[in-house]
Amino acid sequence: MNGWTALDRFLQTDPRDVGCGEAMELLHVYAELAATDAPVAQRYPGIAAHLAACGPCGEDFDGLLAAIRGTAE
Amino acid sequence: MAPADPTADGVFPPPRFDPGSGQWVQMLSRTGPQREAGLARLHDLLLRIARGELQRRSGQLRITGPELDDLAYQVAADALLAIVAKLGQFRGESKFTTWAYKFVIFEVSAKIGRHFWSNQTVPMDAEDWERLPGRFGADPAQQTERRDLAGAVRRAVDENLTPRQRKVFVAIVLNGVPMDALVTELGSTRNAIYKTMFDARRKLRAALAANGYLNDQTTGHS
């Protein structure tokens, strides 16, 4: 990948992206479904689009998923 | 579990929780020893999650050992306060513990954001445009590509972004300030900073496409 391709990828925006506020509001619901391997991105496409684009929210999702999986009985 | 639907008269019925979540809410809603026991049990659980998350993200903190454990206690205490304050907002859409863990995860992110400024100094008005190609992995040997890319983006920024969008773009992209650290520095919210960057990215892409640097549909230098 050259610099232009990486720049283009960075500048691409997804109109379905719900933003941090809504994603954070529903993160516990989204992560719990994801932990069961449910098709959560199909159910919440706007949150999936956001988590793919927002590094900090994606990091929070990874952390919550790890917490759920680490404490699952 | 699906969220509760309003009844015909628009009043929400009491939330229905799974048995484990119901026990947590009941314990924490009471007074006296049962509540104290519930708070202690929840604190232990939050502390365990905080330690795990801080360990997972320890590369972003550069602290270890007792200092990291102190931070875990702070995270657990702050998360516990937030959970107790917002207990009435728990609607049973997930397990109570999943909802509670979310507060720990957010506290860790906020503390990492604040920690960034304790060991780094980034002049917020510095604009070193020569860094830009490297941020996007441009080959150091491709001097023409690097010059073109930096020049085109700088012009697009100059001509299209508001002062606020420029400040956020420069901090995050040129100076490599993490978003949560910028939130702290500007006294803003993650949502507001992300929206500012989202709008800036859309404007810059449109400008670069209009000037023939990027294709409208596909990636790559036209």
Burial group, residue A46, by CB count within 10 angstroms (0-12, 13-18, 19+): middle
B50-84 per-position pLDDT tens digit: 999 999 999 888 888 899 999 999 999 999 999 99
The residue type of B218 is T
Q: Which residues of B touch A54 (CB under 8 A)?
A: 179, 194
pLDDT score for B219: 41
Name the CATH architecture for the domain at B129-210. Answer: Orthogonal Bundle (1.10)
Which of A31-35, B3-7, B152-156, B190-194 has the lowest average pLDDT?
A: B3-7
Residue B123 to chain A, least CA–CA distance (Å): 22
Written as one string, the DSSP assignment of B74-107 is HHHHHHHHHHHHTGGG--SSS-HHHHHHHHHHHH
Say if residue B159's pLDDT is above 70.
yes
pLDDT score for B29: 92
Per the model's pLDDT, the better-predicted residue between B120 and A25 turns out to be A25
Mean pLDDT for the stretch of residues A5-24: 96
From B57, B136, B191, residue closest to A20, measured CB to CB:
B191
Task: State whether CATH 1.10.1740 applies to domain B19-116.
Answer: yes
Say if residue B7's pLDDT is above 60.
no
Residues listed for chain A = 73
Q: Domain-by-domain residue ranges, chain B?
A: 19-116, 129-210
**Residues near B19 by Cβ (< 8 Å), separated by ≥ 6?**
none
pLDDT score for B10: 47
Q: Which residues of A touch B153 (CB under 8 A)?
A: 7
Residue B29 to chain A, least CA–CA distance (Å): 21
pLDDT score for B127: 86
B50 token code pair: 């905080």
B123-142 per-position pLDDT tens digit: 777 788 988 999 898 888 88
When pLDDT is cut at 50, 70 and 90, the band that residue A72 belongs to is low
From B49, B94, B149, residue closest to A4, measured CB to CB:
B149
